[in-house]
Structure 1
Amino acid sequence: MQSSSSTQPKRYFVTGIGTDVGKTIAAAILTQALHADYWKPVQAGSLEATDTMRVQELVSNSRSVFHPEAYRLKLPASPHLAAAQEGIDIDLNNIQLPQTQNHLIVEGAGGVMVPLNNNELVLDLISKLNLEVILVSRNYLGSINHTLTTLEVLKARNISVVGIIFNGVPNPSTEQFIKDYTQVKVLPAILEEATFTPPLVEHYAQTFRNAL
């Protein structure tokens, strides 16, 4: 597993316990915290307002580079279905890490068990890219199950998890249980905000710099 020591760039794959749990905001904050490059390998839907564009709007440092997606798909759906609608088969061999000497934040699509093609999942992409994971969790009924299941799957594949980010309205009981049960490091929380702006992202980034 790639080292995240100070002598070489930190490279993290940001995944979530499901869809719409806040991966993109978390990725923007992490990108700003490390002045890292950002890369979303597969974008499905919202091509006029991609996750890359959103992160670019929120990141205010001048060092970050935003690398183009390997696949840009029109349908807002699971990548395997979105690709099939366009007669495309997503080939993991075509998804290569961008060439950069900088830190790198990679944002996934949905959760780890989301299919990229008929045989391979986001989980397989994480393994192929040999990246450590930062897991974004959000408190809702069922989130303990989804968080623990995701961590068990990552553990079974010997994928290192750097930490968990709890995003949204805090639930101390849920968060404490997950922390105690998994013994995975809990990174700074991201709270429910009316809107995220570059200054607010920088404010959060400051809390993450020491944690990473």
Structure 2
Amino acid sequence: MNLQKERIFITGIGTGVGKTIVSACVTEALNAGYWKPVQAGLDEGTDTQTVASLISRPGVCQPEAYRLQMPASPHLAARSEAMTISQAHLLSHEALSYDGPLVIEGAGGLMVPLNDTLFTIDFIKALHARVIIVAQNYLGSINHSLLTAMALQQANIPVVGWIFNGDTHTNEADIVRWSHLAHIGRVSQASVPDKAFVQEQAAQLRPGLIKHLQA
């Protein structure tokens, strides 16, 4: 399979499970572009800035379609600025013309609303993207993981597989088995991730990514 124009959407089983670090590692592993369509919350820096600081080719990071001040659900952050996030605007964004595989990082999980009628899962389907699910172990993570997998499967959205983030846990094998989705790899825990960490993790992820993207 030619990965040149592949769109790979990174979603999480919830908020704060490590999507941005995983996105940086996948971007590095595939020599891909990176795009965060909607950034909600600017005071502590953006996910695009974080990824650019961690990868070897920061110029591949594409500009956001929406940069919103409030750190909240995108529909609420947009509403606070008297605007509405438009799927048409997202789908016509210059980032989608990137010449190469493109890693697209979502906000939170699948059912995060982008406006009053559009959820992240709807946007993924409109993108014709394949999905990598990022999971992390915590109390309730099995439920959140399997609900995420089920929603994607019921929507007939192709899933590349799982990337687990953080410390290894026995839950991983059960989640993979119950979901019938591939285990791509994992990103180790790092207190302060840097470029060297991302390059190391990317090298470990690359074989699994290529294998399952080409399956």
Tell me if TM exceeds 0.5: yes
Equivalent residue number for residue 181 of structure 1: 178
What amino acid is aligned across from residue 6 of structure 1 in structure 2? N
- Between the aligned partners of 1:88 and 1:39, the Cα distance in structure 2 is 21
User: Could you state the TM-score of these two structures normalised by the residue count of structure 1?
Assistant: 0.93
Instruction: Report the TM-score, using the length of structure 2 for normalisation.
Output: 0.92
Q: How much identity, in percent, do the aligned residues show?
A: 45
3-state secondary structure, aligned to 2:202: helix
- Aligned pair partner of 1:50 in 22, 46, 51: 46
Provide the residue aligned with 2:116 in structure 1. 118
Please tell me whether residue 86 in structure 1 is matched to residue 61 in structure 2. Answer: no
Contact 1:32–1:205 (Cα < 8 Å) also in 2:
yes
Give SS of 2:162's match. Answer: strand
Per the alignment, in what secondary structure is the counterpart of residue 185 of structure 2? Answer: coil
- The residue matched to 2:183 in structure 1 has which SS? coil
Q: Which has the higher mean CA deviation after the structures are superposed, 162-171 or 97-106? A: 97-106
**Matched position secondary structure for 2:201:** helix
- Kept after mapping to 2: 8 A contact 1:47/1:72: no
Deviations 1:3-61 (A, max 9, x none): xx136333200000000000000000001001110000000002561000000000013
SS in 2 for 1:155: helix
Structure 1 residues 53-73: Cα deviation after superposition (integer angstroms, max 9, x where no partner):
0000000137x5111111110
CA RMSD after TM alignment = 1.3
Deviation string 1:160-180 (CA, Å, 9 cap, x unpaired) is: 1101011112112x1111111
Match of 1:16 in 2: 12
Structure 2 unpaired stretches of 5+ = 210-215
Post-superposition offset of 1:203: 0.5
CA distance in 1, matches of 2:74, 2:83: 10
C-alpha separation in 1, matches of 2:134 and 2:3: 26
TM-aligned CA distance change 1:181 to 1:67, over 3 Å: same
Q: Does 2:57 correspond to 1:61?
A: yes
Taking structure 1 as reference, are residues 178 and 69 closer, same or farther at Cα in structure 2, changes over 3 Å only?
Answer: same
Counterpart AA for 1:74: Q
Gaps of 5+ in 1: none
Find out whether 1:127 has 2:125 as its counterpart: yes
Write the distance in 2 (CA, Å) between the matches of 1:125 and 1:7: 21
- The structure with the largest helix share of the pair is 2
Q: Tell me the residue number matched to 2:194.
A: 197
Partners of 1:54 and 1:142 in 2: how far apart? 28
Between 95-104 and 176-185, the greater mean CA deviation after superposition: 95-104
> 2-side partners of 1:7 and 1:175: how far apart?
27
Q: Secondary structure of 1:55's match?
A: helix
